[in-house]
């Protein structure tokens, strides 16, 4: 007999290139706005790529006290602030709950890269005595989930995931399982990233992974378009509040959607490239469907990984066709990375928020910059304009360097 608990989403929070809260982020997604523009954080004149999707108008001290902000790398700031927003959105009275029943699983693909570069510069100028005592705590990828738990007194399961672009999806999937099996009633989960640094941009340029469309940054992220030439780097954080349905009902919570399935797989193929046949992604999506007990033809929308890379988009397109068969061309698909850029370890969280909102509002955000069809990418990408359509079940895909695949499945919540 299956005794696993049902799990629902009761809060969301986001700090993104399209807005400093989840509602602004969503409004700008469905308006089809691009978050890309020239990099303002450092001199890019020597770089092949001189643009990114920065979080605009962000000032940490608007959300945190000065001392706390100074002791956090921006990736941790994005995480803590988006978690604060999500907890407020959920209307949870944390102080009235058993702290042992609330946990945090929160990740970052890279961690405190800005801190690392700054402290290495200090070391090169003045030796080891110039290194800050806060260097290590600001650097390590688990510190965001540590800060979230400390700030709110959350004493349940607490750890970080690190799996490149699949990081946040793995964090959310783990949190889902923790509630399903009764180890917590509420989980704060997601991911954050702040990779727009000299070494971050230079490193991805050295791999030839990023777009170099410097003359038109807002047109550079163009998933599935024939003229795509690489991904656009983004930054930010996203947080989801997962809750046992029984717990949420008891307190009269607002429920965005029900979380019903996860699929985690490995390509075991290559450090950066997906297999051409999409085999790992196929197994990931099928596992999510099987976990939820849902048939392929019941899915209405997929928020795809869709990075705007020449090989990755073709592989995912093929994987969807092989997973969904004839139904593949009946679904709406979109890559919100066309607007946010690629938030790396935070991607799974901010894209799941978009997937949840699509399910709740029956509104599918577009893939912008889709101008030149690629014969190898032949599905319905919801090109350039938002679509109103009933969304009963929706899937979110994230695939990371190292061959990490994650698929998260949500459904429209209808009160029993």
Average pLDDT of the chain?
97
CB 266 within 8 A of CB 280: yes
Task: Give the distance, in angstroms, between the CA of residue 30 and the centroid of all CA atoms in the same chain.
Answer: 17
What is the 8-class DSSP label of residue 242? E
CB 26 within 8 A of CB 357: yes
Closest CA to 397 of 329, 299, 271: 299
Query: Into how many domains does the chain fold?
Result: 1
Annotated catalytic residue within 152, 170, 247, 305: 305
Report the run of H or E that residue 8 belongs to, with start and end.
Answer: strand 7-15
Is the pLDDT at 63 greater than 90, yes or no? yes
What are the pLDDT digits (tens) for 205-232? 999 999 999 999 999 999 999 999 999 9
**Which residues 6+ apart lie within 8 Å of 409 measured at CB?**
259, 260, 261, 262, 263, 288, 289, 291, 292, 294, 393, 394, 395, 396
What is the 8-class DSSP label of residue 106? E
Whichever domain contains 43, its CATH number is 3.40.47.10
Is the pLDDT at 2 greater than 70, yes or no? no
CB 190 within 8 A of CB 237: yes
Percent above pLDDT 90 for the chain: 97
Is residue 404 flagged as an active site residue? no
Residue 415 within a domain = no
Is the pLDDT at 416 greater than 90, yes or no? no
Closest CA to 172 of 191, 192, 194: 191
Location of structure tokens 């049902």: 6
Residue 1 within a domain = no
What integer pLDDT is reported at residue 49 of this predicted model? 98
What are the pLDDT digits (tens) for 65-87? 999 999 999 999 999 999 999 99
Closest CA to 410 of 370, 366, 351: 351
Closest CA to 65 of 42, 86, 84, 51: 84
Is residue 270 flagged as an active site residue? no
Residue 278 within a domain = yes
Is residue 247 flagged as an active site residue? no
Residue 321 within a domain = yes
What are the pLDDT digits (tens) for 320-340? 999 999 999 999 999 999 999
What are the pLDDT digits (tens) for 252-263? 999 999 999 999
Location of structure tokens 């989960």: 189
What integer pLDDT is reported at residue 412 of this predicted model? 98
**Which residues 6+ apart lie within 8 Å of 135 measured at CB?**
115, 119
Residue 409 within a domain = no
Annotated catalytic residue within 152, 170, 247, 342: 342
Residue 411 within a domain = no
What are the pLDDT digits (tens) for 121-159? 999 999 999 999 999 999 999 999 999 999 999 999 999
What integer pLDDT is reported at residue 3 of this predicted model? 77
What integer pLDDT is reported at residue 292 of this predicted model? 98
Tell me the DSSP string of 157-217.
Answer: -EE---BTBTHHHHHHHHHHHHHHTTS-SEEEEEEEE---SHHHHHHHHHTT-B---TT-G
What are the pLDDT digits (tens) for 162-195? 999 999 999 999 999 999 999 999 999 999 999 9
What integer pLDDT is reported at residue 213 of this predicted model? 98
Domain range spanning residue 307? 7-403
Is the pLDDT at 341 greater than 90, yes or no? yes
CB 407 within 8 A of CB 262: yes
Report residue 1's pLDDT band, with 50, 70 and 90 as the boundaries.
very low
Residue 219 within a domain = yes
CB atoms within 10 A of CB 134: 15
Annotated catalytic residue within 53, 165, 189, 359: 165
What integer pLDDT is reported at residue 285 of this predicted model? 98
Residue 360 within a domain = yes
Measured CA to CA in angstroms, residue 407 lies from 166, 287, 294 at distances of 9, 8, 14
């Amino acid at each position: 007999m299956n005794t696993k608990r049902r799990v629902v989403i009761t809060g969301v929070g986001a700090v993104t290139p399209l807005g400093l809260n989840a509602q602004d982020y969503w409004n700008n997604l469905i308006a089809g706005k691009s978050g890309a523009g020239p990099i303002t954080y450092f001199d890019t004149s020597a770089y092949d790529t001189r643009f990114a999707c920065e979080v605009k108008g962000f000032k940490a001290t608007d959300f945190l006290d000065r001392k706390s902000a100074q002791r956090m790398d921006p990736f941790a700031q994005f995480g803590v602030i988006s978690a604060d927003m999500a907890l407020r959105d959920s209307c949870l009275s944390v102080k009235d709950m058993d702290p042992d029943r609330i946990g945090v699983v929160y990740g970052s693909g890279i961690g405190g890269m800005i801190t690392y570069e700054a402290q290495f510069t200090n070391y090169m100028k003045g030796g080891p005595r110039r290194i800050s005592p806060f260097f290590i705590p600001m650097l390590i990828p688990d510190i965001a989930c540590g800060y979230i738990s400390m700030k709110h007194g959350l004493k349940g399961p607490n750890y970080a995931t690190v799996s490149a672009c699949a990081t946040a999806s793995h964090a959310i999937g783990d949190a889902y399982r923790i509630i399903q099996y009764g180890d917590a009633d509420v989980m704060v989960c997601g991911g954050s990233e702040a990779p727009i640094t000299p070494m971050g941009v230079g490193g991805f340029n050295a791999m030839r992974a990023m777009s170099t469309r410097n003359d038109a940054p807002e047109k550079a992220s163009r998933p599935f378009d024939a003229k795509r030439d690489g991904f656009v780097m983004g930054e930010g954080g996203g947080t989801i509040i997962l809750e046992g349905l029984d717990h949420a009902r008891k307190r009269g919570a607002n429920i965005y959607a029900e979380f019903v399935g996860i699929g985690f797989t490995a390509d075991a193929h290559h450090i950066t490239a997906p297999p051409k046949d999409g085999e790992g992604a196929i197994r990931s999506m099928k596992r999510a469907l099987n976990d939820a007990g849902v048939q392929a033809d019941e899915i209405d929308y997929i928020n795809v990984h869709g990075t705007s890379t020449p090989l990755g988009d073709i592989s995912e397109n093929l994987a969807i066709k092989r997973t969904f068969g004839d139904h593949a061309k009946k679904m709406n698909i979109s890559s919100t990375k066309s607007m946010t850029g690629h938030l790396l370890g935070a991607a799974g969280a901010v894209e799941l928020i978009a997937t949840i909102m699509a399910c709740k509002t029956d509104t599918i955000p577009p893939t912008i910059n889709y101008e030149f069809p690629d014969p190898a990418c032949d599905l319905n990408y919801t090109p350039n304009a938002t679509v109103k359509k009933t969304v009963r079940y929706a899937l979110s895909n994230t695939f990371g360097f190292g061959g990490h695949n994650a698929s998260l499945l949500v459904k429209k919540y209808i009160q029993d």
